[in-house]
Each structure stands twice: as C-alpha cells, then as structure tokens.
A = this chain, B = another copy of it.
Amino acid sequence: MSLIIVGSVAFDTIETPYGRREKIVGGSGTYCSLSASFFTQPEIVAVVGEDFPKETIEFFKNRRIDIRGLEIRPGKTFHWEARYGDDPNQRSTIKTELNVFQDFKPLLPPDYRQADIVFLANIDPDLQDDILAQVQKPKLVAMDTMNLWINTKPDSLLKVLEKVNIYFANDEEVKMLTKETNLIKAGNKILERGPSLVVIKKGEHGALVLGEDFVFGVLAYPCKEVVDPTGAGDSFAGGFLGYLDKVRAINDKNEIRKASVYGSVLASYVIEDFGIERFKSLTQQDVEDRFSDFKNLVSF
C-alpha cells in the first residue's frame, strides 16, 4: 500500500529541563514520516525554505522517505519555539514564525493522489480539507489537530472530522472539542461525528484507542529520562499508520492493537533525545525489542 503524510517540516527551538536547542529540525510531518519509515516508505507533503539543511533531506532519503512532495521555496523555514517545565505534559509556545508555511497550498504529485492511507497532521483544517480532496480513493484517512484550530476554526475542523476514519488527539483536545470531562464519553462523541476510531494520546499515561465495541489501552513506555517530549504524538501516529500500511490492514482489530503499540514504541524512543536525534541511531531491532518489552509490561 502507500501512505502520504501532510504536515510541517520545521525548525524548532526547544527548552526542556535537559537543555536548550536552537533551530533544530522538527515538525509534525518530520516526526511522523521518520517514524513511519520503520515500516513503509512514506510520501511526505510539506514546504521548507532555502535555509533548510540539505543533510536532513539526505537523511529523509536514506530512511526511504519519498520527498517528491517536499517543496523548497524561497524564504525561511517555519520556526516554532517552545519551553517545557518539569512536567513533560506542560508546554508553553514562545513563538511561531510561519514563514514559507504561510502560503502553503500544496498540489499533490500525481502518484500521491493514488495513496491508500492519508495522514493529515496538525495543520489548518481548511488546508487539510483541500489536500484530502486531491486524493482519489483513499482506503484510510487519519487526522490530527491542535487546540488552536479547535478554538479558532471549529466548523472547518468538524467538516474534516466527518471525512476521516481515524482521529488522533490528545486528551485535552478531545475534552475541549466535545465539552466532556470523561474521556470515554468524549471519545464516543467523536465517533458519532464520523471517525470509526479515535486514538486519545495521554502523554506519559499512554493512549486509549476507541471504536464501536472496541477499546484498547496502550501504556507509555516507562522512560526515566524524557529529554524532549516534542514529536511524541506525531511519532505515535507515524508508527501506527506506517505499521498499518506495511501489513495492508485497515480494519483488522488485532493489527490496530499492534499498530497502537508500535506507535507507543516510536514515541518512547523519540523523547529520549532532542528533536530527531534519536532517529539517527535507532534500528529496526531496537523497535522490535521494545515492542517485546511492551508485552512484558502488560501481560498477565
């Protein structure tokens, strides 16, 4: 099958209790594609400026990410700055410079329009809708979003939500969108809106995957050192969807269980170092080893 990932490829300036990094490579499309690349050859759709490092593009290629949809435009790459406190779930955005991302209106390469799986990472919901319309007959559409769009463009967001099969969100977003404090009730409300599956990411507490007559819970791997939590959610989605693409599964509940665990595995690795550093040394064997560790973690 094939998987396209639409999201941001960006520079991030990140401060955590473990230190500060200026303008390192980040972005939802980056984390998601790198994670998916452990299972399949994802096709990325994003825009960067001329200042984006060629080494990173080479790294994407080496990881067999299809970069024909990665546009390089005159100008500067999207730059985001954030700070985390002692609690990795608490993040403050310091600055957002959209730069070339401001006018991002991608036209999908012809091949990409045949994609089986489409992931619309966190971007403006109107843009998510435009891009989705360009894909001919996707078998599976997934989306992510953020509190900004829930607050500023709820109608656009709900319009996209009706068209997707899987909605990835964190617990705060699900509660905010549905005005429900109980996660199970909140998840069920999302299911009534269209998706057949909602993946509620809970940071250090793992994730809950809800469908009609289906509940699966996956833990976060117990990490002693959360160096930089950035990208954990996108890596979860990348591992999840990359695995489904690899095993050519859309609705198989057993595969969805495994996909959830692979999502948590990838998320657990990325937070061990700043930005995408950890992906540079991560091996297929590491991924399989931790997948096995997850079995030990929850089996009884």
Contacts and interface: CB of A to CB of B under 8 A. Distances in A.
Interface of A: 86-87, 181-185, 188, 202, 204-206, 208, 210, 215-219, 222-226, 254, 257-258, 260-261, 294-295, 297-300
Given A205-B202, A205-B205, A297-B217, A222 B184 contact: yes
A18 B210 CA distance: 25
Residue among A181, A202, A260 with the most chain B CB within 10 A?
Answer: A181
How often does this chain occur in the complex, in copies? 2
State the majority secondary structure of interface residues on A. mixed
A215 B222 contact: yes
Nearest to A87: B181
B300 A184 contact: no
B222 A219 contact: no
The 6 A-B pairs at the shortest CB distance, nearest first, are namely: A257-B300, A205-B205, A86-B181, A217-B219, A298-B298, A184-B222
A295 B261 CA distance: 15
B224 A300 contact: no
Contacts of A258: 300
Contacts of A184: 222-224
Of A205, A208, A223, A300, most B-chain CB atoms within 10 Å: A300
A299 B257 contact: yes
A225 B300 CA distance: 26
Given A86-B181, A298-B298, A300-B261, A217 B222 contact: yes
Contact of A204 (B183, B188, B257): B183
A223 B182 CA distance: 8
Given A206-B217, A217-B222, 12 more contacts: A87-B181, A182-B223, A183-B222, A184-B223, A184-B224, A185-B224, A206-B219, A210-B222, A218-B300, A219-B219, A257-B299, A260-B300
A226 B182 contact: yes
Contacts of A185: 224
19 contacts: A86-B181, A87-B181, A182-B224, A184-B222, A184-B223, A184-B224, A185-B224, A202-B205, A210-B222, A215-B222, A216-B300, A217-B219, A217-B297, A218-B300, A219-B219, A258-B300, A261-B300, A298-B298, A299-B299
B215 A297 contact: yes
Contacts of A215: 222, 297
A158 B261 CA distance: 38
A224 B187 CA distance: 10
A300 B260 CA distance: 9
Nearest to A216: B297
A182 B182 CA distance: 25
A183 B299 CA distance: 21
Contacts of A299: 257, 299
